[in-house]
Structure 1
Amino acid sequence: MNGALRVPVLVAGDFVLRPWRMEDLPLVHEASSDPYIPLLTSVPAVYSDEAGERFVRRQWQRASDGVGYSFVIADRQDLPLGVMSLRMRDAPEGRASLGYWLVESARGRGAVAAALRAVSTWAFEELSIARLELYVEPWNTASARSAERAGFQREGLLRSWQRIGEERRDMTMYALLATDAREAAAPGSDPRGGASG
């Protein structure tokens, strides 16, 4: 991708994906106290307002540099719940990858699956992406269920794929193709992923 990107607002059922604001620092603060999120992301493990502001600026910089989109997942009252990122490094090949997290207080409400559906539809229709990928640790059944609810299919295990904290860990790859999304949206299709009738 060349040039700066504009992060849009996307409606995701009962949730909204929107650009970051400095008023979202409480979200970064809560995420920093999670035992897992700082290991997997650039969320500061020890929170300070200065560290939180640097994190928010990094989210803005991704779009400014043209390398990806970083959304806040918020509820309809605009309470920030988590993050959805779309990384565009492989966009010239028609691929992009997704990453996401929710703070503990926001889990169990279907926000990730709704956000994945919204950003996937947008990426296919507006950005002409053909394939979306995401990676989930094999033990993370809640994240895997969210991916599957959004139509992503498990493709296989990537051994020692990613460094998390001090160790390399296996990741399960999930993918959703633009053709999968079109077939699921076709008249007469089952919204759970199979053809009806």
Structure 2
Amino acid sequence: MSAPLEVPRLSVGERFVLRAWELTDLPLVEEASRDEYIPLISTVPSPYSRVAGEAFVRRQWGRVSAGSGYPFVIARAEDQHPVGAIGLWLRDLDEGRAWIGYWLAPSGRGHGAATESLRVVARWAVEDLHIPRLQLCVEPWNVASQRTAERAGFQREGLLRGWQQVGAERRDMLLYAMLDVDLPPAEAG
């Protein structure tokens, strides 16, 4: 077990913020639980119940307490309404690697939240946490997520055959990575 972490609040431009999970985020968990895909690639409960939703949020807190990663809610800056999640997972940190995963509830898609959040988490991980390699996996059919990764500066490295259990089957994944030397320069603001 690693030392407990603290999830920082990160600004994602003027439109979004990244923050720690709260029990007030249960409507996001409920919406995500109705998505066909999110419960297959995450621990979002399906079917949803208030008890299962609260257990999901508490698991996020447990990950922070255990030092295994930084689970963020992606929320609109103007009203703090949650639209998705992104996490930086540290299981391979001793090898100089960290994993990133993200999802958006259906109502949060199409507004650039995933791309901008991924850019911010990547920059924070490289510049503040000094992680030399960030990686993420995307299913080959998920073109929108591939575009998100590429727009955020990640490079496709290859196909991992039968890499991950998704639902009842093992599926291929595309591996994307960003090295600390690949980090695009910060935009002047």
Q: Please point out which of 165, 180, 184 is paired with 1:178.
A: 180
After TM superposition, give the deviation of residue 186 of structure 1 in Å: 7.8
Query: Which whole-Å CA distance do the structure 2 matches of 1:178 and 1:11 have between them?
Result: 21
Find the partner of 2:143 among 121, 131, 141: 141
Per-residue CA deviations over 1:68-111 (Å, capped at 9, x if unaligned) read 11000001121100000111011111110000100011101110
% identical equivalent positions: 59
Between structure 1 and structure 2, the one with the greater Rg is 1
Aligned positions, number: 185
Which residue in 2 is equivalent to 1:44? 45
For residues 131 and 113 of structure 1, what CA distance do their matches in structure 2 show? 18
Give the corresponding residue for 2:54. Answer: 53
Please give the alpha-carbon distance, in whole angstroms, between the structure 2 residues aligned to 1:36 and 1:93. Answer: 30
Residue matched to 1:35: 36
Q: Determine which of 92, 100, 103 is the counterpart of 2:102.
A: 100
CA distance in structure 2 between the partners assigned to 1:186 and 1:41 by the alignment:
31
Listed as ranges, the gaps of 5+ residues in structure 1 are 188-197
Q: 2:4 maps to what in 1?
A: 4
CA distance in 2, matches of 1:140, 1:70: 22
**Cα RMSD between the aligned structures?**
1.2
Which residue, out of 160, 164, 167, partners 2:166? 164
Q: Which amino acid aligns with 1:11?
A: S
1:25-48 per-position Cα deviation (integer Å, ceiling 9, x unaligned):
000000000011111111111111
Aligned-partner Cα distance in 2 for 1:4–1:58: 14
TM-score, normalisation: structure 2: 0.95
- Structure-to-structure mapping, 1:186-197, within 5 angstroms: none
Runs of 4+ in 1 over 3 A off after TM superposition: none
Alignment of 1:107-146 (within 5 A): 107-146=109-148
Cα drift, residue 2 of structure 1? 2.4
CA positional deviation for 1:155: 0.3
Q: Which amino acid aligns with 1:10?
A: L
